[in-house]
Structure 1
Amino acid sequence: MTLDTAAPAALDHRFACPACGSELRFSPGPGKLVCDHCGHEEPVEEHRGRLPELDLRAVERGGPPPSAVQDARFVQCPNCGAKVELGHDEHARECPFCATPIVTDTGIARQIKPQAQLPFLISEAEARAAMSRWLGRLWFAPSNLVEYARAGRAMQGIYAPYWTYDAETVTEYTGQRGTVHHESRPVTVMVNGRQQTQMQQVARVVWRPASGRVSRTFDDVLVLGSSSLPKRFTDALAPWDLSALSAYDPKFLAGFRAEGYTVPVEDGYREAKDIMNAVIQSDVRRDIGGDQQQIGRLSTEVGALTFKHVLLPVWLAAYRYRGKSFRFVVNGRTGAVQGERPYSTGKIALVVVVMVLLAALLAFVQMGGRF
């Protein structure tokens, strides 16, 4: 994809307090910009409703329009590949996704700017409490890692990049409709060691050809625009209340990080098509009807096809334990937690010893107390 060289300058997510000049940050609790220095607060209004979309085919042909592009400074982690936005005066930081120190600035990158975001709803303290509860339920987790996670080290608020796709589809299909009929048939069975013939109800499927057309309008098919976190983590954070998306406003990013997308919009659409095709097949089976269905041929025409770049809120913690990184992510709106679970070899060994002792005690009791 070729980006227009007339892109606007990088956006700044910093806002000065009009009372004391310190930096304001967005506070998820009250949903306002607040100043930690003097306590000044400013409301931030969400603009919901119809959100701007970009025509995917037009972008594939000639790139996005200049108004849809922004410049940003990113630093890319050499370990996990995360691309994290840097502030104007930053030159090094620790990767929030794997705790690897990063000192190389990858410079200005030109990307499609977000059209919408879901603001954080839960605070860092609430996210940390949710993570601690989740860790506490894990058997065999090393005690010192659990204590370290609960020790008060702050989690980082990250806006993760996603693509959403809208599409209008019409699918013509051919297949077969199966109707189950039950009929009585003589069946030989063994009764008291002797063969007997009995009449039993046996299911038989009668297949008839079927064909037709189904249409489906897809709205906000969601695809992660980054590969820095395992997909099993991000998928498990769903559902996201995408109906609450509001038009992009950098004020919601004040005090938070934004991750740049590393999955191009065209690649994201390939995953979106797989999601859409699964829904279309369900529609076809429903349209064929009957008791069973077989799909032969599908031919799908896609009409209007648009996309958005959206930011979704994630609280993130990365801990290094015995030279390995363990990552925990919390949905910044619902508090759902996912993460990599470490195992304590000491705890596992202790359980094995206890089980062996219990087995020996049980055997001793069953033998009447004599070995």
Structure 2
Amino acid sequence: MKIPTVRGAPRPPEIPKTEEHRFPCDNCGGDMRFDPGGDRMICDHCGNIEGLGRASPAAIREIDIRAGLDRGGAETEETRVLSCPNCGAQVEFDPAIHAAECPFCATPVVTDTGTNRHIKPAALVPFGLDEATAHAAMNDWLGSLWFAPNGLQKYARKGRKMSGVYVPYWTFDAQTDSAYAGHRGDTYYVRQTVMRDGKPVSVQVPKIRWTPKRGRVRRFFDDMTILASTSLPKRHTDALEPWDLSALAPYAPQFLAGFRAEAYRVELEDGLTEARARMDAVIARDVRMDIGGDQQRITSIDTRLSNVTFKHVLLPVWVAAYKYRGQSFRFVVNGQSGRVQGERPYSKWKIALAVIAALIVAAIALFIYAAAEGGGISTGGLSLPSGGGAGWLSE
């Protein structure tokens, strides 16, 4: 589907500079942060707790795709971001920070003073796990790894700080109506005579009867999520799924207090292209089911999309990035479910020892098999090949 761009629309008004996501404590003046797992803000200096009221989920607004592609109908904001020179991540930082470490690759960087204008998030899934719980999940995962260096888990347990990052995603809704043409294949059998070992044998041979088929399939896609970040390997973020998007809350800066938010690097149009490819794969599966039979051939699918809308949402991820023996490794933990995925080093010595052990076991098994084949194992008791030395006793 080609989504036309509306031209000539007025440019959005200038957005003021980024507001700091800082919320002073009414008790001591320190910075309060969002407390994962609860609708509240907490002050780490004096322990003061303040309730955080959420807006109704009904306030989350779907945006027409044409308005988003044109940017004239989508609300935008301007944020100050850090651009990592190593992995290219663009992470929001407040103006009080002048130097930091990239949460995605552990590269020391100095923040720039640039700003980034982008479509404002419509909603987010608040962090449900605190750092200690995410760290425990990561350590359990590290402990389950085979052939990991002995010092890896010990290194990770040295109190290495994890960063809570809201990772950007696009979600897409669309109503699809697809007309298709193809063929249905039904299996039937015919009896034929074939020669086997010089003798005629009657066998059942499968054949396919193809019948032309046309029809329509319809499907509504609701909140198809597309990763809008390029900072983490997609195979890792895909492995964090599924996300419970029923927990989406209308975007509010209080949820970001104490955390970071990554700016999206996959533009809306590119996200729509990926979503369309995923929709097409699902539609093709629906068409095969509608054709039925034992096999299917699809000649054509003509899909029309309507009511295409999107949202820019933020999903919670705990990130641990560290260097081990000169190499960078990253772990990610789903801040909602605790699912862990990541990169890991391998111990060459452990792999070598495992190979040697396997060869020894194979050699012993081969020796026992050879002895048994040579008649050295008796059925009346245990015996081994005779000859030389003191010999072997057997009953």
TM-score (norm 2): 0.87
In the alignment, is residue 18 of structure 1 matched against residue 26 of structure 2? Answer: yes
Q: Deviations over 1:68-111 (max 9, x none)?
A: 11111101111111111111111221000000011141511111
In the alignment, is residue 195 of structure 1 matched against residue 199 of structure 2? Answer: yes
Percent of paired sites with the same residue: 52
Change in Cα spacing, 1:149 to 1:280, as seen in structure 2 (3 Å) is: same
TM-superposed deviation, 1:297: 0.9
Q: Deviations over 1:313-350 (max 9, x none)?
A: 00100010121100000000110000012111122223
In the alignment, is residue 279 of structure 1 matched against residue 287 of structure 2? Answer: no
Q: Quick check: 21-30 or 236-245, which moved more? A: 21-30
Aligned equivalents of 1:348, 1:197: Cα separation in 2: 53
Q: How does 1:296-307 map to 2 (within 5 A)?
A: 296-307=299-310
TM-superposed deviation, 1:58: 2.5
Paired amino acid for 1:196: P
Change in Cα spacing, 1:70 to 1:206, as seen in structure 2 (3 Å) is: same
Residue 75 (structure 1) aligns with: 82
Residue 320 (structure 1) aligns with: 323
Instruction: Classify the secondary structure of the residue corresponding to 1:280.
Output: helix
Aligned equivalents of 1:31, 1:259: Cα separation in 2: 22
Aligned equivalents of 1:106, 1:357: Cα separation in 2: 61
Quick one: which of 167, 182, 190 aligns to 2:189?
182
Aligned equivalents of 2:284, 2:362: Cα separation in 1: 52
Instruction: Classify the secondary structure of the residue corresponding to 2:137.
Output: helix
Instruction: Classify the secondary structure of the residue corresponding to 1:223.
Output: strand
Paired amino acid for 2:162: M
Structure 2 contact 68–268 (Cα < 8 Å) conserved:
no
Q: Deviations over 1:18-45 (max 9, x none)?
A: 1111111111133321111121112223
Aligned equivalents of 1:145, 1:3: Cα separation in 2: 52
Aligned equivalents of 1:325, 1:144: Cα separation in 2: 15
Count residues in correspondence: 365
Quick one: which of 50, 56, 64 aligns to 2:65?
56
Change in Cα spacing, 1:273 to 1:106, as seen in structure 2 (3 Å) is: farther
Quick one: which of 172, 177, 181 aligns to 2:179?
172
Paired amino acid for 1:58: A
Q: Quick check: 133-142 or 290-299, which moved more? A: 290-299
TM-superposed deviation, 1:10: 1.8
Gapped regions of structure 1 (runs ≥ 5): none
* Structure possessing the higher radius of gyration over alpha carbons: 2
Structure 1 contact 116–247 (Cα < 8 Å) conserved:
yes
TM-score (norm 1): 0.92
Change in Cα spacing, 1:363 to 1:207, as seen in structure 2 (3 Å) is: closer
Change in Cα spacing, 1:354 to 1:291, as seen in structure 2 (3 Å) is: closer
TM-superposed deviation, 1:308: 0.5
Aligned equivalents of 1:277, 1:148: Cα separation in 2: 45
